[in-house]
Copies of this chain bind each other. A is one copy, B any other.
Amino acid sequence: MKLNRTAVVLLGMLTKGPLSGYDVKRLIQISTSHFWNASYGQIYPEFRRLEQAGLVAASPQEHGRRARTAYALTEAGRRALRDWLVSPGELELQMRDEGLLRLFFADQLEPDEAIALLRRMRALYAARAAELRAVCVPTAEAVAAEDDLRFPLLTAGMGIELYDTLAGWCERTERELAAGA
């Protein structure tokens, strides 16, 4: 079975223990969403496909009176994940930044409108950096105890550096534009 990226995220999240679709979505939100996101509409169907392929095992549970399905990684699933992690080929790398898209066409705007746009962008980057900082604090403590959050902490750190860089660039560019106008 050829793994798509959603499948990879699901399998990867299960390496720490069984999870439901909802659990995974919540984990993604605070961790990988900054570089790879997935919605319910992808998660639940993908779990079923993975089960059919034998890469995860469903274990129906009770949650109040409501049905709930948690999935556990199988040995085949763990192997498939490892194989994917070391597979060769182009690493997909793609960004969608509506702020930059607007800025690219900003010669259609008045100077003050362009500056206002840069401020909006900066606020967004700063907010993302703050989010990541918020999840990093408890994570850093947990890493001291056990080591398996090391790489999540690393990627979060990269995100912080990235967003800080972007916010800084906006600030400088705001000043440049203000001076030029």
B91 with A99: CB separation less than 8 A: yes
B158 with A104: CB separation less than 8 A: no
- A96 vs B77: C-alpha distance in the bound complex, in angstroms? 23
Of all chain B residues, which has the CB nearest A151? B106
Tell me if A58 is interfacial: C-beta within 8 Å of chain B. no
Chain A interface SS verdict (over half): helix
- A139 vs B116: C-alpha distance in the bound complex, in angstroms? 25
A154 with B103: CB separation less than 8 A: yes
B104 with A155: CB separation less than 8 A: yes
Which B residues lie within 8 Å of A93 (CB)?
96-99, 124-125, 128
Given contacts A91-B124, A165-B162, contact A36 B107 (CB under 8 A): no
Give the segment of A18-26, A48-56, A60-68, A79-87 that binds chain B: A79-87
A15 with B165: CB separation less than 8 A: no
Give the contacts of A123-181 with B (CB-CB under 8 A): 124-125, 128, 147-148, 150-152, 154-155, 158, 161-162, 165-166, 169, 173
A94 with B37: CB separation less than 8 A: yes
Report the minimum CB–CB distance from A135 to chain B (whole Å): 13
Contact of A35 among B15, B97, B108 (CB under 8 A): B97
Give the contacts of A1-21 with B (CB-CB under 8 A): 5, 8-9, 12, 15
